[in-house]
Amino acid sequence: MSAVRGGAQRYGAEPSTATRRSILIIVGVVFLVPIAALLEFTFRIGQPAANGVQAYGFQHYLDIVSPANEQAYAPLYQGILNSLTICVITVFIVLVLLLPTMILVELKFPKYRRVLEFVCIIPITVPSIVLVVGFIPIYSVVAQIFGSSPWTLAFAIGVIVLPYAYRPIAANLAGVDVTTLSEAGRSLGAGWVSVIWSVILPNLRRGILSAVFITIAVVLGEYTIASFLSQNTFQTALVLIQQTDPYVGAISAVFALLFAFVLLLVIGRLGTVRRSRPPQRKGQVS
């Protein structure tokens, strides 16, 4: 693919620079408009004057940090806090339930790789809005055991996260020959624990990190299950606060989108560190 790049004569699929730039600029601008509008909205002060001129300022940003409004925004803070708790538990589910199972299947039951993949893809075929119909009766039982605290949502969201968490780990597993690695470790006298801890896991670091980050993004963005199970999370709090104070809703949305973007940008860079390794000759660590 890279051979003909930049040549005067183009044989393959690559577009000319002019075509490429114009497509990307047009689509990019169109896609920036709603984000720009959201940002513009956060700076608005009051309604436009009679001559149609809109006043702008940092009023609503100051409102958020003002102690006088602490009461009004308490549900939002609580929602963020709840979402973060759910994040931690969901990441725990991914690391303690999904990851060991994937490694075990890879090492001991490679025949069942397809089965595991199928299971992890099911949440795409059975959408959240369908699953909630079944989660409602399940959670009446869960509530009896654990109470109805928000953190219990992590069990349900852990399932929603499966397809996203599975993919980066599976991609990483496919690129690393864990069977040979673990046999090498075993033949050098390492026990299973140290093989997994100091041989396999370090090799899967990139996939695991990606899985954790995408899990965080999905948990913070989850709305359907939380709203049906009547829990206060970041997204349900946003919808709630939007009705009384749309500006704070918009500000939170801007920051959340930005946060998720940075998180995923880090995943992207993690991926390229590895991809760009072969051409580099020396001085490469990790």
Nearer to another protein, 137 or 283 (CB): 137
Residue 105 CB coordination number (10 Å): 18
Distance of alpha carbon 130 from alpha carbon 251, whole angstroms: 31
Residue 135 CB coordination number (10 Å): 20
**For residue 151, what is the enclosing H or E element?**
none
Distance of alpha carbon 78 from alpha carbon 63, whole angstroms: 17
Smallest distance from another protein to CB 169, Å: 13
Residue 21 CB coordination number (10 Å): 11
Nearer to another protein, 67 or 279 (CB): 279
Smallest distance from another protein to CB 88, Å: 17
Nearer to another protein, 98 or 178 (CB): 98
Smallest distance from another protein to CB 247, Å: 10
Distance of alpha carbon 1 from alpha carbon 174, whole angstroms: 23
CB distance 211 to 169 below 8 Å = yes
Nearer to another protein, 74 or 136 (CB): 136
DSSP for 186-219, written as a single string: HHTT--HHHHIIIIIHHHTHHHHHHHHHHHHHHH
Residue with tokens 């009679």: 50
Smallest distance from another protein to CB 193, Å: 13
Nearer to another protein, 28 or 67 (CB): 28
Smallest distance from another protein to CB 42, Å: 8
Q: Which residues have C-beta within 8 Å of that of residue 47, sequence separation ≥ 6?
A: none
70, two tokens: 């602490």
Nearer to another protein, 176 or 223 (CB): 223
154, two tokens: 């992590």
Smallest distance from another protein to CB 252, Å: 8
Smallest distance from another protein to CB 159, Å: 5
7, two tokens: 């040549």
Nearer to another protein, 68 or 285 (CB): 285
Q: Is 272 left (phi over 0), alpha (psi -120 to 50) or beta?
A: alpha
